[in-house]
């Protein structure tokens, strides 16, 4: 793997000066020498500037394909089973509280939970978490390598993101050992990044592909929920038991021009926003222990408001990159009216203008964090029920699969045969910290209606 070479601007200037000095030091009495030399110099300068331009121009990043984890039928955990187990493990009031959250969550009866959840009482051990990780990660990778025809030893970059479960050796080492990847593979293990970690991993691989030509990047996005099981009595920490379910996604991205013809999507933008400098945002999602020593993920009552602010900050940066001129003009006009042109009391009540992002995108893949999350994003983005259908169906069929949920939504759009060449896709994910990340894809070939994969027969 050859590192991409950047031609420093200072060296380029030096070369130009040397050429000019050599040119003017010639004896111009002979016209037979001057004309060929002028042609050679002009050719060299054109080549030099073209080379500088090409090295600074961003290389395109293509998504070859992706695969999703479909929990086996034995992992199915319907509501009746959940209620029965909750009554045996928790206090009746706590069991009733969890059942109320579950019934309002938007989850369906077919979502899957790891084997340890099926025991009474459940015992979330490290070995059980590793077994879940191997089941999810190896399943999606086996399917991906078969689907793309890429061999494990061809992978140049490997990124695995999982927030809570970070064993030693790491999950990336587990993958490298399983598939016997070559020793020069560059691996990165992202932990504690929350439900938006997959787009962080994508941004990392995108930057690496700018430095290394003709490379393949492999991203594995999952959340191993065995360590997330909370067995205490604190209600803010019990909500995650009701929402999170088994899931994972794997994808291969590349900068190889020869792979463009068989790639599905081209990456347009990745925008990342982090509000961690604010204490309220930083503390709204915490992995902690309660007074009895039970570990779990606590969700603050400020979560919805913080998520809304993070989304606003992210879309403010994304909007100028993707929105048509008309929408940007209306947004600027509204901003000036509200901030600077306050001539009367009525003008101070002018509501902020929300751009119509439906003019920029044909498909939306919103993080399926819960029904309330989808409802809030739909309202503030002015989306139609059809725009959020993929996210609602993802939540119903698979639950909150954390960082992989936008890929389940994209898989739903594909399996319905709705993805056409030229369509633009917006992926939005919210995560602890607090972060809001977004990615924009452009479909470069029509995706035929699929009959296999995680959504088959669903």
Closest of 364, 430, 377 to residue 163, by C-alpha: 430
> Which pairing describes strands 186-190 and 157-161: parallel, antiparallel, or unpaired?
parallel
- pLDDT the model gives residue 458: 75
Of 166 and 38, the structure prediction assigns the larger pLDDT to 166
Annotate 417-430 with DSSP letters as a single string: T---TT-EEEEEEE
- Residue 259's contacts (CB-CB under 8 Å, 6 or more residues apart) are 62, 64
Residues 6+ positions from 95 with CB-CB distance below 8 Å: 83, 86, 87, 89
Report the alpha-carbon distance of residue 342 to residue 349 in Å, rounded. Answer: 10
Q: Maximum distance among all alpha carbons in the chain?
A: 104
pLDDT: is 66 or 57 the higher one?
Answer: 66
Strand 248-254 and strand 216-222: the pairing is: antiparallel
140 near 248, Cβ under 8 Å?
Answer: yes
Element (H, E) at 68: strand 62-68
For 224-250, what is the mean pLDDT?
93
For residue 256, the model assigns a pLDDT of: 96
Between CA 455 and CA 102 the distance in angstroms is: 22
Q: Which of 38-47, 128-137, 280-289, 337-346 has the lowest mean pLDDT?
A: 337-346
Residues 285-295, mean pLDDT to the nearest whole number = 91
Predicted pLDDT of residue 38: 62
Which whole number is the average pLDDT over 246-272?
96
Arithmetic mean of pLDDT, 98-112: 93
Nearest to 74 by CA among 129, 121, 107, 114: 114
Q: Strands across the sheet with 186-190, in order?
A: 186-190, 157-161, 216-222, 248-254, 62-68, 265-274, 435-443, 424-431, 363-366
3-state secondary structure of 390: helix
Average pLDDT over every residue of 56-65: 87
Tell me: the pLDDT tens digits for 422-451?
999 999 999 998 999 999 999 999 998 777
Alpha carbon of 317 to those of 13, 30, 314, 320, 338: distances in Å?
A: 35, 60, 5, 7, 19
Percent of the chain with pLDDT over 70: 84
pLDDT interval class at 421 (50, 70, 90): very high
**Nearest Cα residue to 138 out of 126, 128, 146, 127:** 146
pLDDT, mean of residues 365-393:
93
Averaged pLDDT, 46-71: 78
d(CA 87, CA 186): 47
Lowest model confidence (mean pLDDT) among 40-49, 140-149, 150-159, 367-376:
40-49
Q: What is the pLDDT of residues 131-177, one digit of tens each?
A: 999 999 999 999 999 999 999 999 999 999 999 999 999 999 999 99
- Strand residues in 174-291 grouped as ranges (E): 186-190, 216-222, 248-254, 265-274, 285-289
Cα 294-297-299 angle, rounded to 5 deg: 130
Please answer whether residues 232 and 292 qualify as being in contact, where contact means their C-beta atoms are separated by less than 8 angstroms: yes
Annotate 254-267 with three-state secondary structure: ECCHHHHHHCCEEE
Q: How many CA atoms lie within 13 A of 112 on its CB side?
A: 19
CA nearest to 37, candidates 18, 52, 48, 22: 22
For the stretch 2-33, pLDDT in tens is 444 333 444 444 445 444 544 444 444 455 55
Alpha helices in 381-444 (DSSP H): 389-398, 405-415
Range with lowest mean pLDDT among 40-54, 77-91, 251-265, 306-320: 40-54
Task: Output the CA torsion 35→40→46→52 (10° steps).
Answer: -150
Instruction: Tell me how far apart the alpha carbons of residues 27 and 23 are, in angstroms, rounded to a whole number.
Output: 9
The alpha helices in 286-402, defined as continuous H runs, are 303-322, 325-339, 371-380, 389-398
Instruction: Say which DSSP state 60 is in.
Output: P
pLDDT attached to residue 28: 47
Q: Taking a C-beta distance cutoff of 8 angstroms, is the pair 446, 420 a contact?
A: yes
């Amino acid at each position: 793997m050859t590192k991409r070479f950047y031609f420093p601007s200072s060296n380029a200037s030096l070369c130009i000066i040397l050429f000019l000095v050599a040119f003017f030091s010639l004896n111009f009495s002979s016209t037979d020498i001057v004309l060929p030399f002028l042609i050679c110099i002009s050719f060299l300068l054109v080549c030099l500037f073209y080379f500088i331009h090409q090295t600074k121009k961003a290389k395109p990043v293509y998504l070859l394909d992706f695969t999703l984890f479909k929990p086996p039928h034995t992992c199915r955990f319907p509501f009746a089973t959940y209620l029965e187990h909750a009554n045996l493990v928790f206090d009746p009031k706590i069991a009733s509280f969890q059942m109320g959250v579950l019934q309002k969550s938007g989850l369906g009866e077919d979502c899957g939970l790891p084997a340890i959840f099926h025991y009474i009482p459940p015992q979330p051990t490290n070995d059980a978490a590793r077994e879940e990780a191997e089941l999810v990660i190896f399943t999606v990778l086996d399917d991906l390598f078969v689907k793309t025809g890429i061999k494990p030893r061809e992978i140049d970059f490997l990124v695995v993101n999982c927030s809570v479960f970070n064993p030693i050796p790491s999950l990336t080492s587990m993958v490298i050992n399983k598939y016997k990847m070559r020793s020069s593979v560059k691996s990165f293990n992202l932990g504690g990044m929350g439900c938006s970690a997959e787009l962080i991993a994508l941004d990392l691989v995108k930057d690496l592909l700018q430095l290394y030509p003709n490379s393949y990047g492999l991203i594995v996005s999952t959340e191993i929920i065995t360590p997330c099981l909370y067995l205490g009595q604190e209600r803010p920490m019990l909500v995650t038991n009701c929402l999170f379910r088994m899931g994972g996604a794997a994808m291969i991205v590349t900068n190889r021009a020869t792979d463009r013809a068989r790639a599905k999507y081209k990456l347009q933008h990745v925008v990342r926003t982090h509000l961690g400098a604010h204490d309220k945002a930083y503390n709204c999602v915490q992995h902690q222990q309660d007074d009895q020593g039970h570990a779990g993920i606590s969700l603050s009552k400020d979560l919805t408001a913080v998520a809304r602010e993070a989304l606003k900050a992210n879309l403010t940066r994304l909007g100028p990159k993707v929105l048509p001129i008309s929408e940007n003009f209306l947004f600027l006009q509204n901003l000036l009216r509200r901030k600077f042109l306050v001539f009367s009391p009525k003008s101070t009540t002018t509501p902020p203008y929300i751009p119509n992002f439906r003019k920029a995108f044909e498909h939306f893949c919103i993080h399926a964090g819960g029904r309330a999350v989808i409802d809030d994003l739909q309202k503030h983005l002015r989306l139609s029920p059809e725009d959020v259908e993929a996210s609602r169906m993802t939540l119903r069929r698979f639950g909150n699969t954390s960082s992989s949920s936008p890929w389940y939504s994209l898989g739903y759009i594909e399996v319905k045969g709705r993805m056409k060449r030229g369509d633009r896709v917006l992926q939005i994910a919210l995560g602890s910290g607090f972060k809001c990340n977004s990615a924009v894809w452009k479909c470069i070939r029509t995706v035929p209606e699929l009959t296999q994969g995680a959504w088959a027969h669903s």
